[in-house]
Structure formats: structure tokens, C-alpha cells
Chain A
Amino acid sequence: MSAFEKELGNSSKNISKILKSKSVSWSLVVLTSLLLAPFIGVYPVLILKILCFALFACSFNLLIGFTGLLSFGHAAFFGGAGYIFGYFMKSWGIPAEIGIILGVGFGAILGYVIGSLAIKRQGIYFAMITLALAQMVYFIFLQTPFTGGEDGLQGIPRGKLFGFIPLDSDLVTYYFVLGVVLLAFLAIVRIVNSPYGQILRAIKENEPRAVSLGYDTNRFKLIAFVTSASFSALAGSLKALVLGFATLTDVHWTMSGSVILMTLVGGLGTLTGPILGAVLIVMLENKIGEIGFFLAEVTGIQWFETLGQSVPMVTGIIFIICVLSFRQGIVGIFTRVCRPGR
């Protein structure tokens, strides 16, 4: 019996070793293709957009996946930082990295304010409070003159990096943003695996127990919230830099819904899940019209041709399917298939 168990343990250790080495080689493949992408004819701006959303989803996952807090207000940090970045770039003409820092700073401060209010309640109330406060931020951005109201902030200049590297070319922007996003990913991985990340997971598993062990869980939750908000703000600033505009769409609660969906589809509480989810959802939103035409052709049902105008409906259906039957997300299913018996 015990020999068998030992063997079982060994084999599962081996499998995880293989998986680990596999995941390292996979990261290398992804990294190389990202570095080479602009040269093999892929439109860099689309990749960057996806990367920004991937970073957004990862920072969101830091909360829901590793701390167990469902924020329904992350659009405020993402879209809000975009506005702040855009405003300062446009009217002050500052270097891009300063703009990003201001955007992130805004996200951190806003995260502190919303976070300290929201952690006063738990569970589902937390989600409702973050949603309501983010909606307040939405209205403020809607009414403040500098955001351009319904039109949004258009024509944001990319400016110069460190004051002397012009970011006008998509290629230079591409490598700059790629670098920042990769660093941010590494930082998130580092946080998750640190002792601090362990405490967050303990809070997720069983908050009363974490309290009884002497941890001031509210402080840890707040730090996690601010961290997550800051990374989201980084993603939002980068997106405004890449696309050159900031609009109300990014502050609206539907954006908070989108990021939840990305994380859920990819796999809550996994490191790669949110990235995969972001890729999938952004691609889907871009290609849904074509998918609709394809389905119409295959099935002969005319209605599918209008699918392009019904992105929210399709996301809604994905939401329902995910909650009912794919709660572990893509990565969860993948791990279960690869490591049976777990």
C-alpha cells in the first residue's frame, strides 16, 4: 500500500516536472513568436491590444483567483487610467513613461479609496460595492469636461519615451509595450509565488482561519486590491498609448464584465488562464461577424449573419455556459486532462 502510494507520488511528481519543463518551453515559443511577430506580417497593434487585455485580466485574477475577491469595478482603473494618461499626454506633452506612471498612480489611489470601502463588506456585497463605486467613477468621467463626454478623448499623442525615443512608429511602440507587459507579468508571477501570495491564498481558502492565525486580513486584502488596481491601470494606460484614444466604453461596467469573462474562460486562479481568456475573447469580439457569416453559410440560418452586431449576446451565452459547466476554465480542463486522478 505505502509502496504503491510512494510510486503514485513519484509518478505525479514526474508528471508535474514534465509539465513544468513543458510550460517553460511553451513560454519560450510564445516569447519568440511575440518577438518575431511584427516581421511575419502580423498587425502589431492588434497583438498589443490583446496583450493589454491579457495584463488587465491577469491583474484582475490577482484578486479573484488568488484572494477570492470578486471586484466588479475594475473598469474604473483600466478606463480611468486611460483617460488620465491621455489627458496628460495631450495637454502637457510629457514623456510617455511619465504619462504611464501618472495613470498607474491614479489607479493606485482610486484602488485605495474603492478598496478600503469595499473590504468593509464581504462576499457578494463586495462585488456590489465595487460595481456601484465604479459606476460613480463612470458618471464622473462622463460629466467632467476634459474627457470629451460621449466622444471620448481622441488623438492622444504617443510622445517620446524618456524624452528622446519617439514612439510614432508602431514597431518601436510594439517592443516598448511588449517589454513593459512582460515585466508586469513577471512581477505578477513573483507576487503570486511570494510568501505574501501564500497569505492571500490562505485568505481565499478560509478567511476566519487566516484571521485566527493572527493575520490582519483586511490589510492584506487592501494591499491586494491596490496592487491589482495598479496593474489594471498600467494595462489601461498602455492601451491608450497603443490605440491613441480613451473612451467611456473602457470605464463602463460592461468592461468590468468583460475582464471577469476573460478570467473565467481562461481559468480562475491560474497564471496562464487569464492570458488565454483575453486572447480568446478579444479575438472573438474582432472576428464574431466573420464567424456569424460562416455559421450562416454552414447552417443556412440567415440569422447568424447578424451575429456581428450582437457581441453582448454572445458574451452572455459564453458566461452562462462557463458558469454552468466550465468553471475551471480552459486551463483547468487542460490540467485535468493531462493529470488524471486530480
Chain B
Amino acid sequence: MNPEFFIPIPVLLSQLTLGLVNGAFYAMLSLGLAVIFGLLNVINFAHGALYMLGAVLAWAGMNYFGVGYWTMLLVSPLIVGIIGIIIERLLLHWIYELDHIYGLLLTLGITLVIEGIMRSAYGVSGLPYAAPSELRGATDLGFMFLPNYRAWVLVASITVCLATWFFIEKTKVGSYLRAGTENPKIVESFGVNVPVMITLTYGFGVALAAFAGVLAAPMMQVSPLMGQNLIIIIFAVVVIGGMGSIMGAIVTGLALGVLEGLTKVIYPQASSTVVFLIMAIILLVRPAGLFGRDK
């Protein structure tokens, strides 16, 4: 075997594990995007910016008020959720009857404003944020030393994803949500307060993004631009998975993270583009997406 192409198994396994952690972020974000699109018919471009806002708030909590990681893991999504509710009531609310593209353009505008504000406050360089002391260090998995923090991220995000799935697929309120995705007017004619449901769904979706942001803060540099490229990857994930299925979004997100990790081992230069490449292939073979059910 040509030694140049020889990939040591431990390296492969560790990249796959790290890929899975990244995939957990894709899963959480594409899940929120899909839930919001389902009910609001808006592709929330601002998802990346609100993810960033979650991370920045965690950093700000620590630096200005000395509020630690665990508190911010709850407070930050809460604040972003409230911001989301305000955004929905104030802006998105007016455009549901219009062509979908206006939702995309409006949330693009919101993105530019949020990122602009953060940029003028913090510049573009990264802000360091330390992992909580309980989660420092690493665990020997045999093939790699997995940083404890990443293990936590994986567990936390998959738990949140599954909880969301359970809530939507298995509860009464979830059935309103699923029905509302198909025909909000009829659900409202049953006496369900759909306008409030829409507002809360947007709030929940972006709170999920903020939660992901806080989880990401100790792993990567907190920066006003950290959501910019991520949102486009999430779009690709959503095109690949299709937005019809919650579990589809979760599985697609995780799988793409793993594939990205694999690419880092085989051909590192392509790791930033592999998701887009897979999207192109999926469009050729299965245009409706893996779990496709187009609206």
C-alpha cells in the first residue's frame, strides 16, 4: 500500500468523533430551521446570527456580570428566545401572506443588522471563552483523547434534539404544531390560538440556535461572524434532508458532520466544501432530498 494514502485508524476514528460533534450542531440548527419553516413558511436566515448572539451573550455574561457557563446555558437561549418573539411580532408577522422569498430577504436584513451591531461593539476578532472547570481535561477512548467538553456537547445536543423530536411527534401540543404545518387556518378554526403558537415556535427555534451558540462558545472563538458561514452549511443540510421530517433533519445533520470529519482525513482541502458537494449529488440523484416532502 502506498504509505501516503495510509490512514491510521485512530486518526480516522478521532476525526469521525469530532465530525459527529460538529454534526450535532448542524442537527440542532437545521432542526430549528425546519420547525420554523414548517409553521411560518419563512427560511430564517437570521438563524446563524442568533446562534452567534447566543455565544456572545454567554461571553458577555461571563465578562460583564461574572455569570458562569451553566447559568448562561439557560439564560442566553431565554434572552434570544425573547428577542425572537419580538422579531416575530414586530417584523415577520407582516409577511406571511407574501411570497417565501420576502421571508428570506427580511431575515437576511435582520441578520445584517444583528451582525452589524455586534461587529461595531466587538470587532471581528475572536473573544476567548473558557470551558467550565468541570468539563476541562480529556478522556482516553483508546483511539483518542476526547476532550470532556466535546463529549458533553455531543450528549447535550443530541438530548435536546431528541427531546424536541419527542415533543413534536408525541405530545398533544406537538400535534397542533404538525397539523399547523399542514394547514394553520384549519387548526385555528378548531379554536387553537395559532398566532401565539407561531410566535412561540419562532422563539423556540431561535432559542435552540442560541443554545447551540452557548455550547459552541468554548469550542471555537466567539466572534460576530461565527454564524455567517454556518448558516449556509445549514441551508445545504436542509436541502439534503428536506424539511418535512424532524428526525430527518437530526439524522442528516449528524451524518454530514461525520462525512465532513471523514473528508478531513482523506482530503483536508475539500472539508469546507464537501457538504455542498454532497448537496449537488443529492440534487442529481434524489432531487426532493433524503426525507423530502416539499411544501
Q: CB atoms of A and B under 8 A apart anywhere in the complex?
A: yes
Q: Which residues of A (307-342) have their CB < 8 Å from a CB of B? A: 309-310, 312-320, 322-324, 327
**Contact assessment for A136 and B109 in the assembled complex, using a CB-CB cutoff below 8 Å:** no
User: Smallest CB-CB separation from B101: which chain A residue?
Assistant: A70
| Distance between Cα atoms of A257 and B117 in the complex (Å) | 18
Do A319 and B108 touch across chains, with their CB atoms under 8 A apart? yes
Give, as a whole number of angstroms, the nearest-CB distance from B109 to chain A: 3
Min Cβ gap B281→A in Å is: 10
A323 touches B109 (CB 8 A): yes
Judge whether B155 is part of the interface by a CB distance below 8 angstroms. Answer: no
A125 at the interface (CB under 8 A from B): yes
Q: Separation in Å of the B71 CB from the closest CB of chain A?
A: 30
**B residues in contact with A318, CB < 8 Å:** 109
Cβ-based interface call for A23 (8 A): no
Chain B residues within 8 Å of A253, by CB = 232
Contacts of A94 in B (CB 8 A): none
Complex CA–CA separation, A121 to B111 (angstroms): 25
Q: Determine whether the beta carbon of A323 is less than 8 Å from that of B106.
A: yes
- Which of B94, B104, B110, B114 contacts A127, CB < 8 Å? B104
| Contact indicator B283/A257 (Cβ below 8 Å) | no
Contact of B272 with A by CB under 8 A: yes
What does DSSP make chain A's interface, helix, strand, loop or mixed? helix
Most buried by B among A64, A70, A132: A132
Identity of the chain A residue whose Cβ is nearest the Cβ of B109 in the assembled complex? A319
User: Contacts A127-B101, A128-B43, A312-B115; is A320 near B287 (CB within 8 Å)?
Assistant: no
B50 at the interface (CB under 8 A from A): no
Question: Which residue of B has the minimal Cβ distance to A125?
Answer: B239
B58 at the interface (CB under 8 A from A): no
Q: Is the CB of B101 within 8 A of A324?
A: no
Question: Which residue on A lies nearest to B269, using beta carbons?
Answer: A143
Do A132 and B279 touch (CB < 8 A)? yes
Q: Contact at A140–B113, with CB atoms within 8 Å?
A: no
B236 at the interface (CB under 8 A from A): yes
Chain B residues within an 8 Å CB radius of A213: none
Which B residues from 267 to 286 make CB contacts under 8 A with A?
269, 272-273, 275-277, 279-280, 283-284
Q: Which of the residues B106, B117, B119, B236 comes within 8 Å of A132, measured between beta carbons?
A: B236
B95 CB–A CB distance under 8 Å: yes
For the complex formed, measure the closest distance between the CB of A91 and the CB atoms of chain B, giving whole angstroms: 22
B176 within 8 A of A: no
CB pair B283–A121 under 8 Å, yes or no, is yes
Q: B232 near A132 (CB under 8 angstroms)?
A: yes
Chain A residues, CB < 8 A from B284: 117, 120
Which of A118, A132, A313, A323 interacts with B113 by CB under 8 Å?
A: A313
- A142 nearest CB neighbor, chain B only: B272
Contact of A124 among B43, B108, B273, B283 (CB under 8 A): B43
**Interface contact B276-A133, CB-CB below 8 Å:** yes
Q: Is A319 a contact partner of B276 (Cβ separation < 8 A)? A: no
Determine whether A224 belongs to the interface, using a CB cutoff of 8 Å to chain B: no
- Cβ-based interface call for B165 (8 A): no
C-alpha spacing A72/B283, complex, angstroms? 17
Q: With the chains together, A175 CA to B100 CA distance in Å?
A: 41
Is B69's beta carbon under 8 Å from chain A? no
- Taking the closest CB of chain B, its distance from the CB of A133, in whole angstroms, is 6
Q: Any chain B CB within 8 A of the CB of A131?
A: yes
Contacts A128-B238, A320-B109: A136 and B116 contacting too (C-beta < 8 A)? Answer: no
> How far does the Cβ of B286 sit from chain A's closest Cβ, in whole Å?
10
- Contact status of A316 and B102, CB under 8 A, knowing A117-B283, A133-B280, A306-B120: no
Q: Does B239 lie within 8 Å of A320, measured CB to CB? A: no
- Complex Cα–Cα for A103 and B100 (A): 33
Q: By the criterion CB–CB under 8 Å, are A323 and B95 in contact?
A: yes
Pick the contact of B110: A135, A306, A320 (CB < 8 A). A320
Nearest-CB distance from B68 to chain A (Å)? 31
In Å, the complex CA distance between A42 and B192 comes to: 63
A70 close to B116 (CB less than 8 A): no
B202 interface residue (CB < 8 Å to A)? no
What is the minimal beta-carbon distance from B115 to any residue of chain A, in angstroms? 6
- Establish whether residues A135 and B232, one from each chain, have CB atoms under 8 Å apart when the complex forms: yes
Q: Shortest Cβ distance from B34 into chain A, in angstroms?
A: 12
B108 → chain A, closest Cβ, in Å? 6
Check A139 for interface membership: any CB of B closer than 8 A.
Answer: yes
Looking at the assembled complex, report how far the CB atom of B87 sits from the nearest CB atom of chain A, in whole angstroms.
10
Tell me the smallest distance from the CB of A138 to a CB of chain B, in Å. Answer: 9
Q: Is the CB of B235 within 8 A of A136?
A: no
Is residue A300 within 8 Å, beta carbon to beta carbon, of the partner chain?
Answer: no
Given contacts A129-B279, A131-B232, contact A324 B117 (CB under 8 A): no
Interchain CB contact under 8 A, B235 and A310 = no
By beta carbon, the residue of chain A nearest B284 is: A117
Residues of B within 8 A of A310 (CB): 116, 119-120
Convert A65-107 into 0s and 1s, putting 1 for each residue whose CB lies closer than 8 angstroms to a CB of B: 0000010100000000000000000000000000000000000
Residues of B within 8 A of A127 (CB): 43, 101, 104
Q: Which chain B positions have C-beta within 8 A of A317?
A: 109, 113
* A136: chain B residues within 8 A (beta carbon): 273, 276-277
Query: Considering the chains assembled together, what is the distance between the CA atoms of A121 and B279 in angstroms?
Result: 12
Cβ of A214 under 8 Å from chain B: no
8 shortest interchain CB distances as A-B pairs: A313-B116, A316-B112, A319-B109, A136-B276, A316-B113, A320-B109, A120-B287, A132-B236
27 residue pairs of the A-B complex, CB under 8 angstroms, read A117-B283, A117-B284, A120-B283, A121-B287, A123-B101, A124-B43, A124-B100, A124-B101, A124-B103, A128-B43, A128-B238, A132-B279, A133-B276, A135-B229, A136-B273, A139-B273, A140-B273, A260-B105, A306-B120, A309-B120, A310-B120, A312-B112, A313-B112, A313-B115, A320-B113, A322-B105, A323-B105
B-to-A contact residues, CB < 8 Å? 43, 91, 94-95, 98, 100-106, 108-117, 119-120, 229, 232-233, 235-236, 238-239, 269, 272-273, 275-277, 279-280, 283-284, 287-288, 294
